[in-house]
Amino acid sequence: MPCNASSADIIVIDAARLSQSIQDFGRIGALPNGGVCRLALTDTEKAGRDELVRRMQDLGLTVRIDNIGNIFGTRAGHDADASTIMIGSHIDTVSTGGLYDGALGVLAGLEVIAALNDAHLKTHRAITVAAFTNEEGARFQPDMLGSLVFVGGMPVQDALDTFASDGVRLGSELTRIGYAGSDEGPRNIAAYFELHIEQGPVLEAENIQIGVVSGVQGISWHEITVHGRSAHAGTTPIALRSDAGLAACLIVQRAYEMTQAIGSDQLMTTGTMRLKPDLVNVVAEEAVFTVDLRNPSGVALKQADTSLVQIAEDVAAETGTRVTCRTLARFDPVIFDQGLVASVEKTAQSLEYSTRHLHSGAGHDAQMIARIAPAAMIFVPSSGGISHNIREFTSPDDLARGTTVLAQLVSGQAGLMKE
């Protein structure tokens, strides 16, 4: 216990229980060499949802499922008409994910509830633990879809009519796995907190225990399709080709050069590329690839968006191809509630944890909830800065520190009462 905090002021979490909870949950969708695969709305993620609902009910929470499949478990407050304090994140993963990305925020929320139950403490406000649908965007686009629909940023019918790359409809999958709900989640949210691994190397490199997240950088996803003409690789001169593969590579190269010209805050990633007919001895007639642009500056991100489209059109003209560009997702930068951000820092420092302010490079459900309620995030270190990878790891001590900060923030905002 920190020497400057009395035991009466601290909600004591069970670090061993939290660590075991995460390990046990990680068995759902476990991969042979470590890590997990719980793509949104698959049978494996359904198993995760079922387990989460069971854990919520075991803790005495009232569980509701909304029309996009978001799961809300609520511990009632003494004041029935008061707003709720929400803790949230997600349980879906990328295809080669780790145990902590997303799941930590949800399972730490359940640990906060368990700690309050253990201490026989009531709160004036209700506390809700939320797990949002399709945060990763690995199967359906856009990412953070569930929280986006929840805050009114995307019509629910549009979301239900979204199709995955394998041709399945999101709404049909929700119904198939039994999570096409009809309830409405809490609307009167006094504060939202999300505990998350950093997914980057800064905290570990600087030996910092708690990241105080000031906001989330803007994200813009594009899909570019290059239309060329297939031809024999051995008989067609370079000058007479309409090579979609060549054009795609030139666009990617120049887009990287564009990001360097904008400045170090600008990021660009090409994560997928498919060629057609995908044969070693045939000039590609079509190339489809994605570009992920990110920047904490909305102005700079818009500049990158415009430049990317111009680059694609210029390359098409040079190579005798044709391009079509489609926006998959676009979210402006978000600045979190300054009062809550200050509370994260003050709380962590009162527990004698070292802190550092930083901007999130990844997208999170918190940036969506920030549209309708005060929101803040807590980061804990990622070993080696690795995430979206089976080697993703955060130490039990760091998990406990982050959850302890979360527990104090939530209990303070909810208003403690002794039974």
pLDDT reading at 6 higher than 70: no
Residue 184 near residue 65 (C-beta atoms within 8 A) = no
pLDDT reading at 1 higher than 70: no
How high is the pLDDT of residue 324?
Answer: 98
pLDDT digits (tens, 9 = 90+) for 214-250: 999 999 999 999 999 999 999 999 999 999 999 999 9
What percent of the chain clears pLDDT 90, i.e. is strictly above it?
92
Q: Is the dihedral of CA 93, 94, 97, 98 positive or negative?
A: negative
pLDDT reading at 2 higher than 70: no
Looking at residue 101, what DSSP letter applies?
T
pLDDT digits (tens, 9 = 90+) for 129-142: 999 999 999 999 89
Kindly give, in sequence order, each residue whose CB lies less than 8 Å from that of residue 410, ignoring residues fewer than 6 positions away. Answer: 85, 87, 112, 127, 193
pLDDT digits (tens, 9 = 90+) for 255-296: 999 999 999 899 999 999 999 999 999 999 999 999 999 999
Cα separation of 97 and 376, whole Å? Answer: 24
What three-state secondary structure class fits 173? helix
The answer, yes or no, to whether the previous bond of 142 is cis (omega within 30 of 0) is: yes
What percent of the chain clears pLDDT 70, i.e. is strictly above it?
98
Given the structure tokens 């918190």, which residue do they identify?
A: 366
Chain mean pLDDT for the chain: 95
How high is the pLDDT of residue 3?
Answer: 35
Across residues 180-203, what is the average pLDDT? 95
How high is the pLDDT of residue 7?
Answer: 42
pLDDT digits (tens, 9 = 90+) for 148-174: 999 999 999 999 999 998 899 999 999
How high is the pLDDT of residue 5?
Answer: 36
Looking at residue 80, what DSSP letter applies?
T
Cα separation of 323 and 317, whole Å? Answer: 9
pTM recorded for the entire structure? 0.86
pLDDT reading at 337 higher than 80: yes
pLDDT digits (tens, 9 = 90+) for 384-409: 999 999 999 999 999 999 999 999 99
- Element (H or E) spanning 416, and its range? strand 416-418
Looking at residue 169, what DSSP letter applies?
B
Residue 228 near residue 237 (C-beta atoms within 8 A) = no
Looking at residue 77, what DSSP letter applies?
P
H-assigned helices in 206-297: 244-262
| Helix 103-118 / helix 396-414 crossing angle, nearest 10 deg | 60
In this structure, what token pair is assigned to residue 364? 């999170």
Strands (E), 90-237: 121-123, 126-131, 189-197, 210-216, 218-227, 231-232
How high is the pLDDT of residue 419?
Answer: 61
pLDDT digits (tens, 9 = 90+) for 104-113: 999 999 999 9
Residue 36 near residue 29 (C-beta atoms within 8 A) = yes
What three-state secondary structure class fits 339? helix
The answer, yes or no, to whether the previous bond of 277 is cis (omega within 30 of 0) is: yes
Q: How many CA atoms lie within 13 A of 322 on its CB side?
A: 2
Kindly give, in sequence order, each residue whose CB lies less than 8 Å from that of residue 16, ignoring residues fewer than 6 positions away. Answer: 396
